[in-house]
Amino acid sequence: MTPKVLAVDPGRPDVGAIDAAVAALRAGGLVAFPTESFYGLGAAMHHQDALTRVFLVKGRPEDKPLLVLVSSVAMAREVAEVSPAAQELMVRHWPGALTLVLPARPGVSPLVTAGTGTIGVRHPAHRVPSILAGRLGSPVTAPSANRSGEPPPTTAGEVLAAFDGQIDLVLDGGPTAGGLPSTVLDLTVSPPLLRRAGAVVP
């Protein structure tokens, strides 16, 4: 399988390219896309077979949860229980590089939560994944688009080299900035626990 590669302008993403990616996701495909730092690997959060493929192509341990990207606070509420403290952080830092770990709502796949009952959600500042999730109408997974243990990719070419025909589509938005990943803050414990230091200081 040779992945389709579609160019997108991060400032004004082409609707045709986004809709092609949405169609691929709805069909259970895997789509790589640029984010603020690296390229992410997207699967529709509610598509079980696609979630399984994410673990297979990345060589990702099954006990490692999948963070998801949303297009709004309202979408986050569809899959997570949003406390007043979480709401305040969303207002302050979203869209942006802050992932919040929250209690997952019933029905969220254990492949996403790794059986923890929690889910990491983020509204990205990068327009491509934000619009992608919005047009799909549900969250999209976003681990880095690389084999587990390898450096995260900053170009579409690096994504293609890593997966060698194992994914369906790449949205090529040019080189990403690299740098620090999103900060991961766990609000399911008290006091909140910084799971990963990153680009945002909450």
Tell me the pLDDT tens digit for each residue of 54-79. 999 999 999 999 999 999 999 999 99
Query: To the nearest whole percent, how much of the chain has pLDDT over 90?
Result: 94
37 CA to centre of own chain: 12
133 burial (CB, 10 Å; 0-12 / 13-18 / 19+) is: buried
Select the more confidently predicted residue: 83 or 2. Answer: 83
Mean pLDDT of the region 119-138: 97
Torsion of CA 105, 53, 180, 192, to 10 degrees: 20
17-54 pLDDT, tens per residue? 999 999 999 999 999 999 999 999 999 999 999 999 99
Least confident of 11-15, 62-66, 79-83: 11-15
pLDDT value of position 128:
97
160-192 pLDDT, tens per residue? 999 988 999 999 999 999 999 999 999 999 999
| Assigned CATH for 4-196 | 3.90.870.10
Mean pLDDT of the region 102-107: 96
pLDDT value of position 159:
97
The structural domains of the chain, with segments of one domain joined by +, span 4-196
pLDDT value of position 164:
82
| 183 within 8 A of 89, measured Cβ to Cβ | no
Q: For residue 151, give the 3-state DSSP assignment.
A: coil
| 124 within 8 A of 42, measured Cβ to Cβ | no
pLDDT level of residue 202 (50, 70, 90 thresholds)? confident
What pTM did the predictor assign? 0.95
| Res. 2: pLDDT tops 90 | no
pLDDT value of position 154:
97
pLDDT value of position 47:
96
Q: For residue 88, give the 3-state DSSP assignment.
A: helix
| Res. 1: pLDDT tops 80 | no
